[in-house]
Structure formats: structure tokens, C-alpha cells
Amino acid sequence: MKEKDSSEERILGAAKKVFLLKGMAGARMQDIADEAGINKALLHYYFRNKEVLFDVIFKEALEQFFPRILDILQSDVPLFEKIGTFCAEYITMMQQNPYLPLFVLNEVNKQPEQFKEKFWKNKDFLFLKFVEQVEFEIKAGAIMAISPAQLFINMISMCIFPFIARPLWMMSSGMDEQQFAHFMEQRKVEIPKFIIESIKNRIL
């Protein structure tokens, strides 16, 4: 049993590397077998085809990516606190899995209908709490009129862009890994500060 678990872990680790590098379309079972240091027959014994293996890896990626974020969006904390927590948690997750967002976005863009059918059933409602909260704060006069969708995209894009553009940004800015990590820690504060200041209703 331990040997089986060890083999599966090795295969999943290898598959994750290959799928992150080549995507679903470009990856081959032979590539994964070579990365795991096993023969192709043994790989097929554990996972009958590439699609099954990809589904396992992609589901694991989503389970790392979405639950905590959705919990924050559905929470009852005040809007400004929610924005700060969201940005900090999102960046922390990206720091732990820097290649995850590009992997997820690439695959969702390639197969949006399959993604919705397999992984996103009945989840649309999870953003309603955030939408309702933004609309409430607008009516209360606490923030200026803004589309909840625009606000949400601003939050995500400001967090995710440095990771997607990381090689180019590090090259052009001259940052090393340690400096980039420090830069992203600063953004956990700077992003919510910038967003909150931009939507506050200053007439009050």
C-alpha cells in the first residue's frame, strides 16, 4: 500500500510539472512517465489515459485556488476589510503556487465549457454575496457608484498580474527572487489601500 501511494504521488508530482509546462494539449503520457522515472505501462496501470490524470491535477489546482477565496467573498465582514483580506490571501496563495494562475487560466480559456461542466456546476451564486454587499454600500453612500464586477476584476487583476508577468517584470526591474517576494508582501497592503481610496465616497 505504501509503495502504491508513493508511486501515485510520484506520478502526480511529475504530471503537475508536465501539465504546467506544456498544458493539456501539449503533454504526452510518455513525458509524464519519463518525468516520474517509470515506464509507460506502469503509468497506465494507475491512470488509464491523459484526460483522467489531467482531471485529477486540475481539480487539485482548483481546490487550492478557490475555496478560501470564495469563503472570503461570502463572509459577513465589512467591505473594506473584505477587500484587504481578499488581496492578502490571494497573493499568499500565488506566492505558494506562482505558476498556478497561468495554468488555470490557460486551460479554462482552452476548454471553457468542459471547465464549467466538470468543475463549476452551481457555483455562480457564490459571488452574489459580494455583489449585494457592494450595492448596499453604494446605496448607503459609503462608496461611490461602481460596478461590483469592475471592482472584483480590479482586485483580481492587481493581485495576479505580477505573477503572470513575473519573468518580464523581474528582468526589466532588476529584482531578484528575494526582492520580488518583498515587493509582493508590500502589495498585500498597497493594493487594498489603493482600491479603497479610489472607491470611498468623499462627500460624507
Superfamily of domain 66-199: Tetracycline Repressor, domain 2 (1.10.357.10)
Q: Is 202 exposed, middle or buried (0-12, 13-18, 19+ CB in 10 A)?
A: exposed
CA distance 146 to 155: 13
Q: Where in the chain is the domain with CATH 1.10.357.10?
A: 66-199
Tally of CA atoms within 13 A in the half-sphere of 172 that contains its CB: 6
Confidence at residue 124, expressed as pLDDT on a 0 to 100 scale: 59
Superfamily of domain 2-54: Homeodomain-like (1.10.10.60)
Over residues 86-116, the pLDDT tens digits come to 999 999 988 887 767 777 777 777 777 766 6
Over residues 168-198, the pLDDT tens digits come to 999 999 999 999 999 999 999 999 999 999 9
Q: Where in the chain is the domain with CATH 1.10.10.60?
A: 2-54
Please say whether the beta carbons of 72 and 82 come within 8 A.
yes
- Residue 114: strand pairing partners: none
Q: Which of 9-13, 73-77, 131-135, 163-167 shows the highest mean pLDDT?
A: 131-135
Residue 120: pLDDT over 90 = no
pLDDT band at residue 51 under the 50/70/90 scheme: confident
Q: Is 103 exposed, middle or buried (0-12, 13-18, 19+ CB in 10 A)?
A: buried
Calculated CA dihedral for residues 65, 160, 128, 82, nearest 10 degrees: 90
| Helix, strand or coil, per DSSP, at residue 66 | coil
Residue 1: pLDDT over 60 = no
Q: At what angle do helices 148-164 and 128-140 cross, to 10 degrees?
A: 120
Q: At what angle do helices 166-173 and 177-199 cross, to 10 degrees?
A: 100
Q: What one-character-per-residue DSSP string does 135-190 give?
A: HHHHHHTSB----HHHHHHHHHHHHHHHHHTHHHHHHHHT--HHHHHHHHHHHHHH
